[in-house]
Chains A and B, each alone.
Chain A
Amino acid sequence: MKLILTIFKWATAILCCFVVLVTVGMTVRYASTLYENNPDSYITIQDDNMRHEFMGTATDEASSFIYSPDKAARYKQNKPNYSVDIRPNSPVGYYYMVSTLIFVSLGALILGMFWQIFSQISLDAPFNSRVVRLLHTAAYLYIISEVLGFIHYFVLGKLLNNAMQQNTLHQITEKGDNLIIGLIILIIAVVYKRGLEIYEEHSLTV
């Protein structure tokens, strides 16, 4: 059991460091793209599972890129769906970069919480108040990320469809899994808190 805890601790630590590096890398990449201000450079929109598929309402074929009137966005048909690129120096571009950085940072924060949890848990004294606090924070972060994900889906759709008048695009993405994980962790945190109370009561029984 101790070995499993150690493996989890190091796995979350490595993953957390990796996501932090990805966040830094993305920030540098976005900053350099904005600084270059190249009119031909575009970013492909992806969801949190790295999928970049959109549903569209247009009936005509789009085998090559079709640009929005202000060239802020373009789309191409990847049958049966679409992939969408956006220009960094545009309202939708700014919004997409900021929101992506927020989501990746949230991911790093959640992994950091789990790293802390696995570091704090000891089999000799399994219940401590810090773990309860960390579990609650991790659960709320999952729920917040889900709520932000929903808001992001609608705001991105609105901005994209304001720019793109030829086609109404909807991102194909899976939502709800973070909410379920958050609620499960919240239940675990509540049960763990009760366990902590019983443990404290037991240690104060003479």
Chain B
Amino acid sequence: MPIIVNLDVMLAKRKMSLSEIAGKMDITLSNISILKTGKAKAIRFSTLEKICEILDCQPADILEYKK
């Protein structure tokens, strides 16, 4: 899929672990792992909103389109 999820990059920049963000977002570790590994087929606006809020970033920092 040409949409790349850069969640791991943003997590590294903010020095935050996957389990930490999962706890703050109140979602399961397996769900956030699906997003990080690029296996997710869709992302809810509410999830994106929470990620941006916690990591203090823009949606474009998380999602990238590559041809």
Interface residues of A (CB under 8 A from B): 200-201, 204-206
Interface string of B25-36 (1 = CB under 8 A from A): 001000110110
Interface size class of B (residues with CB under 8 A): 10 to 19
CA–CA, A204 to B44, complex, Å?
A: 11
Q: How far is the CA of A201 from the CA of B43 in the complex (A)?
A: 11
Partner of A204, one of B27, B41, B47: B41
How many contacting A-B pairs (Cβ < 8 A)?
Answer: 23
Which residues on B sit within 8 Å (CB–CB) of A205?
Answer: 40-44
Residues of B within 8 A of A (CB): 27, 31-32, 34-35, 39-44, 47
3 nearest A-B pairs in the assembled complex, by CB-CB distance: A204-B41, A205-B42, A206-B35
A203 to chain B minimum Cβ distance, whole angstroms, is 9
- How near does chain B come to A131, taking the closest CB pair, in angstroms? 21
| Complex CA distance for A91 and B40, rounded to whole angstroms | 62
Residues of A within 8 A of B40 (CB): 204-206
Please name all residues of chain B whose beta carbon is closer than 8 Å to the beta carbon of A204 when the two chains form the complex.
34, 39-42
| Nearest CB in chain B: distance from A201 CB, A | 5
Cα–Cα distance between A205 and B40 once the two chains are bound (Å): 6
A201→B42 CA distance, assembly (Å): 8
